[in-house]
A = this chain, B = another copy of it.
Amino acid sequence: MPKGGVTSGDVARLAGVSQSAVSRSFSDGASVSPAMRTRVLEAARQLGYRPNALARAMISGRSGLIALMVAYLDNHFYPLVLELLSRALQARGYQVLLFMTDRGRQDQVVQRMLQYQVEGIVMASATLSSTLARECAKTGTPVVLFNRYVPGLPASSVTSDNFEGGRAVAHLLAGAGHQRIAFIAGQEDSSTSRDREAGFTKGLAEHGTAVFARAVGSYTREGAALAIHTLFGGTTQPDAVFVANDHMAFVAIDRLRIQYGLRIPEDVSVVGYDDVPEAAWAGYSLTTVAQPAEEMVQATVTILLDQVERREVSRSAAVLPSRLVIRGSTRPAGTGSASARTHRPPSDATDG
């Protein structure tokens, strides 16, 4: 009973063939006779042989490893993407090497990734120093930035149309007759937050209005709570809030209901971004902009593996259409002012 270390040589000896033959029997396009292959496979089965992927990677230069760099999984959008991406890559014969990164130690993490000879890198991390991307490019490792865009970088990117999404929200809120429309930003240095805000501002301008108030939530729950306090702690409260992602929007709704006793959407409309699964839950019924996660993942895989398999890094930017999902957290269009509405418990809001 060989204790785990059964090699192609062992199989070859048992089958009475050369080690090359064993190797060939396990590679797909190789020149092996059917007889040889079945004979080898039988011997392999008997010994419990499994090709050593590491040795294969070393000689062939193809590790089959894709590094996935993620900052945090609190925001449910990322687990969703992680699952989809992981399944898609597995289906195409690649393995996912997962790296959780803090804000600080990114360079260390990238060093480790490259040590493992990953063939490609997906960065779903919010921040990324440009030197790192350059270092990856230097080693010939393709990089795809997921849900983030950085102009001058030698890396591809996949995003949804954050600008248009923000603009659509502006039209929805302004069209519903809201007078004091506020915005809660995510991380100021993230392209998602900036683009959403830019589109939002543009959309409001098209309605002849502008953002009434603005605060920064940094994509965290704590930040969102603080932002709500900033916006609603004064004398004139907004009557609508566009929050840069769902993750913060849930906090916003909780705070507005509990701390400020406001009804949603009667007193204030709330809009999020991402359309994470919880947005459809009846307790929140959040109007939001859906990011096409499946399509974004598909695009990521296509772009990345194309570069991997052609062995040349290139730069492309995929921008996929986003879609406004209207639920119960926003006042319907043309409903007049908030105070004219009749009372209705917010938890009864139904999902569209």
Binding site for B on A (CB under 8 A): 3-4, 48, 50-55, 57-58, 63, 68, 72-74, 76, 78-80, 82-83, 86-87, 90, 95-100, 109, 111-112, 114-117, 135, 138-141, 250, 253-254, 257-258, 277-278, 281-284, 345-348, 350
**Copies in the assembly, this chain:** 2
A95-B79 in contact given A138-B4, A258-B282, A346-B347 (Cβ < 8 Å): no
A73 touches B82 (CB 8 A): yes
A258 touches B73 (CB 8 A): no
A52 to B112, CA, bound (A): 10
A50 touches B257 (CB 8 A): no
Instruction: For A349, give the chain B residue with the smallest CB separation.
Output: B258
Q: Give chain B residues whose Cβ lies under 8 Å from the Cβ of A53.
A: 112, 115-117
A111 to B95, CA, bound (A): 12
A211 to B114, CA, bound (A): 56
A58 touches B54 (CB 8 A): yes
Report A275 CB to chain B, min CB distance, Å. Answer: 15
Contact of A55 among B58, B83, B100 (CB under 8 A): B58
A283 touches B258 (CB 8 A): no
Given contacts A98-B98, A283-B284, 4 further A-B contacts (CB under 8 A): A54-B117, A79-B79, A250-B281, A345-B346
A73 touches B80 (CB 8 A): yes
17 contacts between A and B (CB under 8 A): A52-B115, A53-B115, A54-B58, A54-B116, A55-B58, A58-B58, A72-B83, A73-B79, A83-B100, A86-B99, A90-B109, A96-B97, A96-B99, A97-B98, A250-B281, A257-B347, A257-B348
Instruction: For A264, give the chain B residue with the smallest CB separation.
Output: B347
Q: Give chain B residues whose Cβ lies under 8 Å from the Cβ of A284.
A: 283
Report A182 CB to chain B, min CB distance, Å. Answer: 20
A337 to B278, CA, bound (A): 32
